[in-house]
Amino acid sequence: MRKMIEKYAVKLLRDRSAAPGRVGFAAQDDRMVEGGAPDLSRLAADVLSRLSCLGMVAAAPSLPFPELLVRRSPAGSSALVPLDTETRTFLHDIPFLRRGELGADPAGKIAALLSNRKGAIAEGIGIFGAGTVTLEQAYIHYSSVHHAAYVKYLMDVLQDGFLLPEEEEAFQAFREEHLTAPSAEGLHFRPGPLEEPGEILAEIAAIGRYTVERGLVDSCFGNISYRAGGTIYISQTAAALDELAGCVDPVPDDNRSTAGITASSELPAHRRIYEATGARAILHGHPKFAVAMSMLCGEEGCPVKDCWKDCPRVRMLGDTPVVAGEIGAGGLAASVRRVIGASGKAVVYGHGVFTVGREGFEEAFRAMAGVEAMCREEYFRRLDARRRAGPGQSKSE
C-alpha cells in the first residue's frame, strides 16, 4: 500500500495535475494507511472510512479551474456537467460542495457525494477521487475529474468570458507559465518499418511514455498500436500509457485467438484505421485543447441534440477532420475510418485525436502534437478575438 501511495504521488506531480505538496492519499486494508500532505490525507482517510472503497486521493489541482467552475456555477446547482467523453461515459457528472456547505463535518458531506460518484470537488480543498478496487482507480478518477474540469473551463471561458474578478489573472498565469508547447523535440523514435515483436513492444512502451510526458494524454487514457505480420500489437484496456511494459496484446487479424479480449476498447477503431490507411502505427490521445475545440460548433439551429454520437457532419479543425461517435462499439470506429485516410489525422467529438504513422511512430506523434498545437493556437486566437470584441459578444465563432 505504501509503495502504491508513493507511486501515485509521483504521478500526480509528474503529470502536473496536482499542486506540489498538496496531495493526500488514504487506503484501507484491515487498517487505514495514509500518505502525503497530513491535512489532506487525514481528510481522505476520514472520507474513506465511511465508504465501501479501497482507496482515496484528495489533492489540490495545480490549476484553479475546478474551483473556478464551482464558483461560476449558478446558485442552487450542485454538480458540473462537462460534455466530454470521459464524463459522459464514466463520471456522468461531477458533484461539488461550496465552501459554505462543508459545515462542521466536511468528511461526511464529501462521503455523501462519493457514495454515488467516482469523484467530487470541494471548494477550497480540491478534487477527491475514490477507488473501489485499487488505489490506481482512485488516481484515475482524480485524473478524470481533472481532465473534464480542465476542458470544461476552457470551453466555458471561450463561450461566457471571465465572470469572476480573479479569473483573468489566473488564466493569464496558466497561459504564460503553466502551458508548455506540445512538441516532439528531443525524443528518440525508431524508424520503421519494425518487424521484430520485441522491438515493437519496446517502441510502443517508449511512445506511450512520450505521449504522457508531453501532455497529449493523461496516463490512464488513450491507446496505441503497431501492425506487423498480420498482427496488431495494441495496448491493453485500462492500461497506463506510461507503463505499457507487459500491457500490450498481440491480436491476430483473423481472430484465430481471443486472448486479445483484454485489448483496448478501441481495437475496432485501430482495425478500421489500418484497413483504411495501410499505415503501420496508430496513436490515440486526449489532448485537452483538441478535445475542447472539437466541441465548439458554430452551427445555428441544428436539430442534432446528442452531437457526440449523432452529428453526421465532418467539420474541420484546420486540415484535421472532426467526427462524432462513441467509444468501443459505439460508432467511433466507423466514423474515424471514413475520414482518416486523407490527412492521417482525425479528432473525435469531445473525446480525442487519432493519428497514424505510415512506417513508424514519429509521424503519428508529430501529427498529434501538431493537432494540439494548432488547436491551442486557434483557441487563443478566438479567445483574444472575443475579448477584443467586448463582453456583449458571446458567440465563439
Partner 1 sequence: MLVVDLTSGRMRRVEIPPELLSAYLGGRGLGVRMLRGPHRLSPFDPAMPLIFATGPLCGTPAPTSARLSVVSRSPLTGTAYDCSAGGRFAFRLRAAGLFAIRIEGKSARPVALAVTSAGEEILPADALWGKTVGQAVRALSGRGSVAAIGPAGENGVLFSNIMMGEGNAVGRGGLGAVMGAKNLKAVVLDGDLPTPIADRERFDRARADVMRLFRASPVIFGELGISEYGTPALVDLMHQRRMAPTSNFRRTVFDGSGAYSGPAIRAAYGAEKEGCFGCPIRCKKRASDGRPLPEYETVSHFGALNDISDLHAIVRSNDACNDFGMDTISAAATLSAWGESRGRFPSPDEVVPLLADIAFRRGEGDLLAQGSRRMAEALGRPELSMSVKSLELPAYDPRGAYGMALAYCTSNRGGCHLRAYPVSHEILRKPIASDRFSFSGKARMIKIAEDVNAAVDSLVACKFAFFGASLEEYAELLAGVTGERHVPQGLKEIGERICLTERFYNAENGFIRADDDLPARFFREPGSEGDGIEVPPIDRARFGEELTKYYRIRGLSDDGSFPDPAFLDKQP
Interface with partner 1 (CB under 8 A)? 1, 27-30, 51-54, 88-90, 92, 114-118, 131-137, 140, 236-239, 247, 251, 255-265, 267-268, 271, 326-330
Number of residues engaging Zn ion in binding (CB under 5 A)? 1
* Closer residue to partner 1, CB minimum distance, 270 or 386: 270
| Residues forming a β-bridge with 27 | 33, 55
Rounded to the nearest 10 degrees, the angle between the axes of helix 361-389 and helix 197-213 is: 20
* Closer residue to Zn ion, CB minimum distance, 46 or 326: 326
Q: Residue 35: which H helix or E strand, with range?
A: strand 32-36
* Closer residue to Zn ion, CB minimum distance, 41 or 144: 144
Q: Residue 56: which H helix or E strand, with range?
A: strand 55-61
Lookup result for grid cell 476520514: 46
For 132, half-sphere exposure in the C-beta direction (CA atoms, 13 angstrom radius) is: 6
Contact 295, 349 (CB under 8 A): yes
Would you give the end-to-end CA distance of the chain in angstroms?
50
Q: How far apart are CA 200 and CA 240, in angstroms?
A: 17
180 binds, among Zn ion, partner 1, none (CB under 5 to 8 A by kind): none
238 binds, among Zn ion, partner 1, none (CB under 5 to 8 A by kind): partner 1
* Closer residue to Zn ion, CB minimum distance, 260 or 287: 287
352 binds, among partner 1, Zn ion, none (CB under 5 to 8 A by kind): Zn ion
267 binds, among partner 1, Zn ion, none (CB under 5 to 8 A by kind): partner 1
Residue 120 corresponds to which cell in the numbers above? 467530487
* Closer residue to partner 1, CB minimum distance, 250 or 341: 250
* Closer residue to partner 1, CB minimum distance, 154 or 244: 244
258 binds, among Zn ion, partner 1, none (CB under 5 to 8 A by kind): partner 1
The binding track of 331-370 with respect to Zn ion, each residue x by CB under 5 A or -, is ---------------------x------------------
261 binds, among partner 1, Zn ion, none (CB under 5 to 8 A by kind): partner 1
- Shortest distance in whole angstroms from residue 87 CB to partner 1: 11
User: Pairing mode, if any, of strands 119-122 and 223-228?
Assistant: unpaired
From the list 120, 74, 54, the residue with the least C-alpha distance to 93 is 120
Q: How far apart are CA 29 and CA 49, in angstroms?
A: 11
The length of the chain is: 397
Q: Which residues here bind Zn ion, judged by CB under 5 A?
A: 352
